[in-house]
Structure 1
Amino acid sequence: MSTLDTSLEFIPVRIAVLTVSDTRGFDDDKSGATLVKMIEEAGHVIADRAIITDDRPLIRDHLTAWIERADIDVVISTGGTGLTGRDVTVEAHRDVYEKEIDAFGTVFTIVSMQKIGTSAVQSRATGGVAKGTYLFALPGSTGACKDAWNEILKLQLDYRHKPCNFVQILPRLDEHMRRK
């Protein structure tokens, strides 16, 4: 069973939030704002935030620019994970991934099933790693963002979470690129 070892010091990570939408702006981006609030409440740092349209090359290029930045450890996107023709966020993420975190989508589906039943099959939430940065694509609904954060990411992005977490292996994500 997982636990939180409060004898360890909390280590904040730097997180960028990307909203993918053809219709939202900062004034009505509820999912992006919800993520920012939860991230900050958990003690992490918002490294950047952006809203871009549902365009695969644009999403891919934005993700690529963010993973090149030394001040971003994690990218969380919201929106564009569904089944319609405009939903291309998952494909853009996979264009960038060096390794996919297959179990992220599976665990997200399990969490979603408990909340929305079989409607969970319509989400294609995904996670991966590229150039030492974690990337996660979440659905555009506020509820899905809350579920992913509260049930998965909040725990995995907490260094004190045991038996293991994403933060403790963060320094080793790009070790293959440093080998000579």
Structure 2
Amino acid sequence: MSAHGGKTFVPLNIAVLTVSDTRSEENDTSGQALVERLTQAGHNLADKAIVIDDVYQLRAQVSKWIADDSIHAIISTGGTGFTARDNTPEALTPLFDKAVEGFGEVFRHVSLLEIGTSTIQSRAFGGIANKTVVLCVPGSTNACKTAWDKVIKEQLDASHRPCNFVPHLNLSAEQCETRN
């Protein structure tokens, strides 16, 4: 049992998506930072992919993961800016059953302390689809570290109080209890 209201940590299966026309496994520092952080936190890397910033290829990859009951969360990095090739919000928001407006708001709030008003250039966002939480952050490695360290890590931890995303995910009743 944990010190946080008696709830224990539940390791989740998390997929990481890097959205980029230029990254490869060799130079994907943002995706690698997320993989390192999620595994250090005790979660499992369910899958990892790099997909070019194409609306339909992004939807195809994320839809595959959303349909997989063994994947509990998806973290996407890249494609959230304002260039012509930044299409992640347009590609993925139609897949959501519910939007998580607070994710982008909180990410921009914590980023403000690091990068100042440039944080308004971020279209970080999140949602839930088929009991899978999808969190999308900018492509910079520092943005990924900030997002994980200051927002995502706690929200994917069943012991975090007063609430977190774990009760809303596709887990068996033995693994997770709803909050009181």
Q: TM-score, normalised on structure 2? A: 0.91
Structure 1 position 4, deviation (Å)? 5.9
Where does 1:151-162 land on structure 2 (aligned, <5 Å)?
Answer: 151-162=150-161
What residue ranges of structure 1 are gaps of 5+ in the alignment?
173-180
How many angstroms apart in 2 are the aligned matches of 1:68 and 1:164?
25
Where does 1:120-135 land on structure 2 (aligned, <5 Å)?
Answer: 120-135=119-134
How big is the alpha-carbon RMSD for the aligned residues of Structure 1 and Structure 2?
Answer: 1.5
What residue ranges of structure 2 are gaps of 5+ in the alignment?
172-180
After TM superposition, the runs of 4+ consecutive aligned structure 1 residues lying more than 4 A away are none
Deviates further, 7-16 or 65-74:
7-16
Q: 1:160 to 1:70 in 2, by over 3 A?
A: same
Structure 1 position 171, deviation (Å)? 4.5
**1:161 aligns to what SS in structure 2?**
coil
Is the 8 Å Cα contact of residues 80 and 140 (structure 1) preserved in structure 2? yes
Is the 8 Å Cα contact of residues 101 and 129 (structure 1) preserved in structure 2? yes
How many angstroms apart in 2 are the aligned matches of 1:85 and 1:28?
22
Deviations 1:55-77 (A, max 9, x none): 01110111111100011000111
Structure 1 position 143, deviation (Å)? 0.6
Deviations 1:141-168 (A, max 9, x none): 0110011101111001111100111112
Deviations 1:41-63 (A, max 9, x none): 00000000000101011101111
How many angstroms apart in 1 are the aligned matches of 2:126 and 2:96?
9
Q: TM-score, normalised on structure 1? A: 0.91
How many angstroms apart in 1 are the aligned matches of 2:7 and 2:131?
23
Letter in 1 for 2:67: E
Letter in 1 for 2:21: D
Is the 8 Å Cα contact of residues 69 and 170 (structure 2) preserved in structure 1? no
Q: 1:8 to 1:99 in 2, by over 3 A?
A: closer
Partner of 2:175: none
Is the 8 Å Cα contact of residues 81 and 139 (structure 1) preserved in structure 2? yes
Structure 1 position 10, deviation (Å)? 1.2
